[in-house]
Structure 1
Amino acid sequence: MFSVKNFVLHYLLLCVSYTCGALNNKRFPDNFLFGTATASYQVEGAWNIDGKGENNWDKVTHSTPSPVRENATGDIACDSYHKYREDVDILKTLGVNHYRFSISWSRILPTGFTNKINQDGLAYYANLIEELKENNIEPVITIFHWDTPQDLENIGGWTNEVIIDLFEKYAELLFKTYGNDVKYWITFNEPKQTCQGGYGSGEMAPVIKSPGIGEYMCVHNVLKAHAKVWHMYNDQFRENQKGHVGITIDTQWAEPNSNSEEDVQAAERFLQFTFGWYANPIINGDYPEVMKKLIADRSEKQGFEKSRLPVFTDEQVEFIKGTADFLGVNYYTTRMVQHTTDPQTMVYDWIADMEIHSYQKDEWPSTASNWLKIVPWGFRKLMNWLKATYSDIPILITENGVSEDGSSLEDDIRIYYFQEHLSNLRDALDDGVNIFGYTAWSLMDNFEWMKGYTEKFGIYSVNFSSPNRIRTPKKSADYFKYVMRTRCLVQESDCVDSV
């Protein structure tokens, strides 16, 4: 049985190893949403049954040799396709307000086109939504979480503008089918990973290496697709369904390496190239000025006739501007950033185009993921930067979490991570940032993309050696349950009401 008093003592011991701040002892507001998240390819399994078509991650994980650690696939994953009722029972036990999950495009439309609609796929998500609603859990649905139907990938995927209209048709089918029961829609999850990872560095599906070109083409189409879906919902569905449509963008906080003007500008440049790349067109109408200027200047020096960053027409600028009812934000960690003295002018890719050097400090606590150091204070700084940069747009934290190796259910590192990050989030609320919810990643251990099953982000452990994929709560599940029940991060007797 979880005891917050015992945890407070253990927390103090953890602070000997980790840097701990003063915890915010104010309750979270009663209307603040708490939930957890998953994504279709990472948990569903059932990759080729009941009419589901192949997607780009099916293709990549089945390739030989496989780029995925230990040749892992999402063929079965957590088997949530068959175990969704059990998953909802777990959510009910946790006491969440909402559950964020994604819909598999190729489970609904096997080829990505609307000429063939898979009724079994539609039924699966209808049953999941019904189960959630019956248990007073709000579904928060991501329309696209990286799994492009392979038939569309074969014709260029997100680098082919044909996909824009196809994505709109897919989203329209979802709104028609589920819209009366869904109040929060997210068009894209972390499009940087799809575009920069999928078509730039080639480190994510579809594993295409086109740095400095393919990644920018991809983003250009993603932003136009997002805007078309927002306008379509606004024109056809909003009046009756009364839902909200946003997008989820991920970023690390960028801390200047020094107080020098060059490093301060470099840190801002990192944020604009990472978050502003998507948010600025959606909120202000175009790519950040620093991106446009820097990439145009570098492209000219490299001999290109025009900038490698595509240009929006005036009509497109106006069409994309203002197409978010809220921003979904994924934050995990922070980087130190400094201006580089070697801009590598002849190298063209997204990272080189920033003209920065970034790193993480050795003394920051490490995790099972080599990119994820624990830096809670970066969370608050990011929230305040968002408010200063994009005014008062509502923010939903759509992912925040930490990995461990799964060797123990005593995941104290995750409790520490949650408590410190939620405290900084509560501080940001006190700062006046318009945050209306928090979503922990993840409900359960799952397929972590190229890392397979070697990194565990779940509040619940999953036994992937068991045919039944047995779920077992970790220690953090009890802590998260306590936070959602009391809305306190500290012992309840020490918690004060919001003012």
Structure 2
Amino acid sequence: MLRLEARLLEFPPGFKFGAATAAYQIEGAWNASDKAVSIWDELIHKHRDRVVDGSDGDVACDSYHQWKRDVEMAAELGLDTYRFSLSWTRLLPIGFAHVVSEDGKAYYSKLIDALLAKGIEPVVTLYHFDLPQKFQDLGGWANPLVANWFAAYARVAFSLYADRVKTWITVNEPIAVCDSSYNGYMAPDIKDEDVGMYLCNKNILMAHAKAWRIYDEEFRPKYKGQISFINHLVWFEPAGKAEEEVTALAMEYIASRYCHPIFSEEGGWPPALETYLFTKSIKEGYKRSRLPAFTSEEIELIRGTYDFYALNHYTSKVVRFARSGEKVGGWPLDGSAELGIVLEARPNWKPTSCWWIKQHPEGFRNVLVWLKEQYGDQKFLVTEIGYPSKGSNLDDTERVQYFQDYLTQMLLAIQIDKVNVIGFSAWSLMDNFEWMDGYSTKARALPDFQLRSTLTSSKSALFFLKIALLTSLG
């Protein structure tokens, strides 16, 4: 049994625990009032077979109608923060900013006020995968005009809620928005990894930057809030010495492609990856790189558009070169086909119910240390981490152990590596619609329970988050 000094069991003063959700995964009411169709409504209604259990998000957790119960659950868990997302199509039913839904506006306003009344800080994500279908019909995230459409949407949200919301996220997991979408895995179900994915990559960075600049110039002086961007970070480690260089390139591919333009001192694409993709594109017969270039003005627009670094983390991978004739690719976020590598797990990493998530707690600490080394000593906010399971067993010992292991590594990063982690949000507040897994996979964070059931305090996520370390390290 690992034993550490008592000081290592202490979270820093002001450290905040929370839980997170996303609009499409919990709200339901897909066509209530004047809400318009999103790309997820469109995909699943036309291709229900794409979801493992054939389900959809039409009702989901019914949070649109049962938001008061959501707030009660957050309060019962003793959460400091609750991160939820706005539905673009609920707030702006035609997508463009000149028409605001009165019902959509009121729904989020009531939710925010109720959270504040319970002493829970709302953390609001502007975009969590659910683009208006109208904009997808115009090219979606591959259309450079989407950056302006998003910025206008952000301005509306800030004008309505910035007086009460002090922490904002522009985009959740752009690597999922672009990489998973343009390899045909998630909505809008487009297969164009060669070009479309990288167009999305650039345009989503531009959208974030424009929204950040609007907040910084128009709303921060009055409301003193903070705003940033969430990246999905997977830890990559080499299978051996021969793979060390390509592993560093893989980290640039999955992480720095969405980090370097914002968080580095110089801005722009990560240099090694930019060179690699240029060289490969020319060899493939293209006249220029498939990774679209930034102008000097665009580099400056994007560079420095953050107030903290927000990250989601679920798993780690081992990197090795593909053997002769071996197939590469297969996981939406890995870049293995582009880089000619194979990603796998070590035999001793524990499985979960989700095929791509294997447990490697040390990888979580490694990610935090890597980020500090790459982008400096700044504030880091863990916005999602959790454990997928199946079934309805309330004796959730495996999930308890998961949090013991991962929180131990986070505290080591804080106390020994001096990474300034300021908060931690578990996924999720409740079981919800888990994208292509539907309802077959239970929420990745809280102890298993049926939708809308009440947990006793001894089963609460915050209880696990705050005392799990004492039981495992004490």
Query: What TM bracket, shorter-length normalisation?
Result: over 0.9
Q: CA RMSD in A?
A: 2.2
Separation (CA, whole Å) in 2 of partners of 1:153 and 1:343:
37
- Deviation at 1:266? 1.8
Matching of residues 230-269 of structure 1 within 5 Å: 230-258=212-240, 260=241, 262-269=242-249
Q: Percent identity?
A: 39
Distance 1:482 1:257, change over 3 A: closer
Q: Tell me the residue number matched to 2:441.
A: 455
Separation (CA, whole Å) in 2 of partners of 1:365 and 1:483:
20
Q: Tell me the residue number matched to 1:47.
A: 30
- Deviation at 1:413? 1.2
Per-residue deviation, residues 474-498 of structure 1 (Å, max 9, x unmatched): 89843632544x6x72059x86xxx
Separation (CA, whole Å) in 1 of partners of 2:72 and 2:215:
31
Per-residue deviation, residues 165-193 of structure 1 (Å, max 9, x unmatched): 11001000010000011111011001111
Q: Tell me the residue number matched to 1:401.
A: 386
- Deviation at 1:368? 0.7
Amino acid at match of 2:163: N
Distance 1:208 1:89, change over 3 A: same
Distance 1:51 1:210, change over 3 A: same
Q: Tell me the residue number matched to 2:121.
A: 138
Amino acid at match of 1:219: N
SS at match of 1:180: coil
Paired residues in the alignment total: 464
- Deviation at 1:23? 6.3
TM-score, normalisation: structure 1: 0.89
Distance 1:415 1:474, change over 3 A: farther
Per-residue deviation, residues 183-216 of structure 1 (Å, max 9, x unmatched): 11011001111101112x1100000000121110
Amino acid at match of 2:121: E
Unpaired runs of 5+ residues, structure 2, are none
Distance 1:43 1:270, change over 3 A: same
Separation (CA, whole Å) in 2 of partners of 1:23 and 1:299:
51
Separation (CA, whole Å) in 1 of partners of 2:165 and 2:48:
41
SS at match of 2:227: strand
Q: Tell me the residue number matched to 1:114.
A: 97
Separation (CA, whole Å) in 2 of partners of 1:460 and 1:166:
39
TM-score, normalisation: structure 2: 0.93
| Contact residue 180 and residue 186 of structure 2 kept, 8 A | yes
Separation (CA, whole Å) in 1 of partners of 2:4 and 2:131:
42
Matching of residues 435-474 of structure 1 within 5 Å: 435-457=421-443, 458-459=445-446, 461=448, 463=450, 469-473=451-455
Per-residue deviation, residues 75-119 of structure 1 (Å, max 9, x unmatched): 000011111111111111111110011000000011211232111
Per-residue deviation, residues 366-417 of structure 1 (Å, max 9, x unmatched): 1110011111010011110000011112110000001110231111111111
| Contact residue 250 and residue 335 of structure 2 kept, 8 A | no
Per-residue deviation, residues 322-346 of structure 1 (Å, max 9, x unmatched): 01111110111111112446699x9
Separation (CA, whole Å) in 1 of partners of 2:294 and 2:350:
42
Distance 1:265 1:475, change over 3 A: farther
| Contact residue 396 and residue 448 of structure 2 kept, 8 A | no
Query: Is 2:157 the partner of 1:194?
Result: no
- Deviation at 1:321? 0.6
Q: Tell me the residue number matched to 1:6.
A: none
Separation (CA, whole Å) in 1 of partners of 2:296 and 2:13:
43
Separation (CA, whole Å) in 1 of partners of 2:269 and 2:218:
28
Distance 1:102 1:217, change over 3 A: same
Q: Tell me the residue number matched to 1:37.
A: 20
Matching of residues 216-227 of structure 1 within 5 Å: 216-227=198-209
Distance 1:474 1:148, change over 3 A: farther
Q: Tell me the residue number matched to 2:290.
A: 308
User: Which range moves more in the overlay, 294-303 or 113-122?
Assistant: 113-122
Per-residue deviation, residues 122-164 of structure 1 (Å, max 9, x unmatched): 1000000000000110011110000001111111110111111
Which of 291, 310, 319 pairs up with 1:337?
A: 319
Separation (CA, whole Å) in 1 of partners of 2:263 and 2:41:
34
Distance 1:223 1:124, change over 3 A: same
Query: Is 2:151 the partner of 1:168?
Result: yes
Distance 1:157 1:477, change over 3 A: farther
Distance 1:64 1:257, change over 3 A: closer
Separation (CA, whole Å) in 2 of partners of 1:332 and 1:23:
25
Q: Tell me the residue number matched to 1:371.
A: 356
